[in-house]
């Protein structure tokens, strides 16, 4: 099993590594071990295949942990937002800027870390980013004013971007085509645990301490993840595949990616879909607790239920739909469902059919969140399928677009105060409609274009 600075090469160029990319592609590996006779070459190949599968599982778990960092940083903190407004004597719109700052930091941090990982490999930028993330999270726990809390959250986001962007880049190093689509769905299963348990943990932490204790818990989790990554995550980008250029080459690579209309369309579609999701993340603590009277613990349970829906649909996408239905078709259906759910939320928020209670609003949010399970992984897959090089830069553009648009959407949901859910529904619907327009207008799924060589995206 590769440790420390050991490198796992791209599976497309290494059959044994390909076993880690898709263990089902080599079902007879374990059998070869049992039947190996005096031929040492056969036994050695089987041992390498078994080690590759084990490494693949380990890397999958670690990448799942890295992609769970944003939900942990955001969702454990959500039940505490009303308490922060009272503790720091700040209006709700200002406290929501702590979410915006973290998102903005994650957006811009990816633009820096992504190209760095293409030049120096994945491990070193990741470890430095995680270490800074732990320090920034600890400082959040001691922030005496909302302004300092916003600044610390910005630093937390900038450093935490390393885990997000490099996790996707490592996945692109190891997987391609349908295998990558399935892998992203698997990551959603692992990272989907974080949104479920994070608000539950946050709600329980608030029973024994205040909002500062939430950041203490996040600091401990970040430190543990950093230690495991340092000890167990191998290098996945071979030195021969790294880019030796500086900022100019990185910018040129990004310009080339953005010149691809379909890549840009998938990136924008994913970004605006994420904005619709994050409008829910930013507004739901106030909507559920202040408007509909849910307790912090009840809100945490509802939030966890929505995350379960997202996780289940992610698995339906990876285990059932991928390989049977075109990725573009699945993505289109997911975006339409988001539009329908957001429309229902707006109608209920406006009281068109009378005052809506917590149950129908929660049901519409559940449908919207569940649809994200087939929307977000497929936008990422279809975008990354269009590039075999500069995976770090491509991942950075994907992540930056999503988090930047989400950061812009965050303060808009509180623009009319804490007593109405209309701004949340308006932002969600507008973002979903723009995502659908970008998908149809720029990706042109009816053309049935290919994502990467031989990897058909699947048109209408």
The 10s digit of each residue's pLDDT in 131-155 is: 999 999 999 999 999 999 999 999 9
Task: Tokens for 61, please give them.
Answer: 């778990």
Low-confidence ranges of the chain (pLDDT < 50): 1-54, 450-458
Q: What is residue 210's three-state secondary structure?
A: coil
Task: Give the pLDDT confidence of 220-261 residue by residue, as tens digits.
Answer: 989 999 999 898 888 878 787 777 655 566 667 778 888 889
> How many Å apart are CA 290 and CA 57, to the nearest integer?
43
Q: Which CATH code, of 1.20.1250.20, 3.40.50.10190, 3.40.630.30, 3.20.20.80, is assigned to 60-235+244-456?
A: 1.20.1250.20
Q: Mind listing the pLDDT tens digit for each residue in 69-94? A: 776 787 787 778 888 888 888 887 78
Q: Where are the domains positioned within the chain?
A: 60-235+244-456
d(CA 43, CA 40): 5
The DSSP-derived string for 234-276 is PB-S-GGGS----HHHHHHHHHHHHHSHHHHHHHHHHHHHHHH
How far apart are the C-alpha atoms of 311 and 301, rounded to whole Å?
A: 15
Give pLDDT, residue 78. Answer: 76
Show Cβ contacts of residue 255 under 8 Å, excluding neighbours closer than 6 positions. none
d(CA 247, CA 456): 33
CA distance 78 to 101: 14
Is-contact 133 102, C-beta < 8 A? Answer: no
**According to the model, what pLDDT value does residue 56 have?**
67
Classify the phi-psi angles of 334: left when phi > 0, otherwise alpha if psi is within -120 to 50, otherwise beta. Answer: alpha
């Amino acid at each position: 099993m590769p440790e420390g600075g050991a490198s796992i090469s791209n599976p497309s160029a290494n059959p044994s590594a390909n076993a880690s990319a898709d263990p089902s592609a080599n079902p007879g590996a374990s059998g070869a071990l049992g039947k190996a006779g005096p031929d040492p070459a056969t036994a050695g190949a089987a041992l390498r295949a078994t080690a590759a599968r084990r490494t693949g599982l380990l890397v999958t778990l670690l990448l799942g942990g890295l992609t769970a960092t944003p939900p942990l940083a955001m969702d454990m903190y959500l039940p505490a937002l009303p308490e922060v407004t009272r503790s720091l004597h700040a209006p709700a719109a200002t406290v929501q800027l702590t979410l915006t700052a973290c998102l903005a930091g994650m957006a811009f941090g990816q633009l820096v870390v992504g190209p760095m990982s293409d030049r120096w490999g994945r491990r070193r930028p990741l470890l430095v980013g995680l270490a800074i993330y732990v320090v920034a999270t600890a400082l959040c726990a001691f922030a005496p004013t909302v302004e300092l809390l916003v600044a610390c959250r910005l630093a937390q986001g900038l450093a935490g971007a390393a885990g997000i962007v490099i996790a996707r880049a490592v996945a692109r190093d190891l997987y391609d085509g349908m295998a990558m689509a399935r892998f992203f769905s698997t990551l959603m299963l692992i990272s989907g645990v974080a949104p479920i348990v994070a608000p539950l943990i946050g709600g329980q932490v608030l029973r024994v301490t205040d909002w500062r204790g939430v950041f203490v818990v996040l600091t401990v989790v970040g430190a543990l993840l950093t230690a495991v990554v340092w000890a167990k995550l191998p290098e996945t980008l071979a030195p021969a595949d790294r880019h030796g250029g500086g900022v100019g080459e990185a910018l040129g690579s990004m310009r080339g990616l953005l010149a691809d209309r379909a890549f840009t369309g998938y990136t924008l579609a994913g970004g605006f879909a994420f904005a619709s999701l994050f409008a829910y993340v930013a507004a739901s603590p106030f909507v559920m607790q202040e408007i509909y009277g849910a307790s912090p613990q009840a809100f945490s349970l509802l939030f966890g239920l929505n995350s379960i829906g997202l996780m289940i649909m992610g698995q339906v996408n990876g285990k059932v739909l991928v390989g049977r239905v075109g990725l573009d078709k699945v993505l289109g259906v997911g975006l339409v469902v988001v539009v329908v759910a957001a429309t229902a939320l707006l109608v209920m928020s406006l009281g068109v059919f009378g005052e809506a209670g917590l149950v129908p609003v929660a049901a519409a949010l559940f449908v919207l969140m569940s649809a994200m399970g087939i929307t977000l992984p497929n936008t990422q897959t279809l975008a990354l399928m269009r590039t075999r090089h500069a995976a770090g830069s491509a991942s950075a553009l994907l992540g930056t677009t999503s988090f930047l648009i989400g950061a812009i959407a965050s303060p808009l949901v509180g623009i009319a105060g804490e007593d109405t859910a209309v701004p949340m529904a308006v932002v969600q619907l507008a973002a979903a409609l723009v995502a659908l327009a970008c998908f149809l207008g720029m990706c042109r799924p009816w053309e049935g274009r290919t994502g990467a060589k031989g990897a058909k995206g699947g048109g209408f």
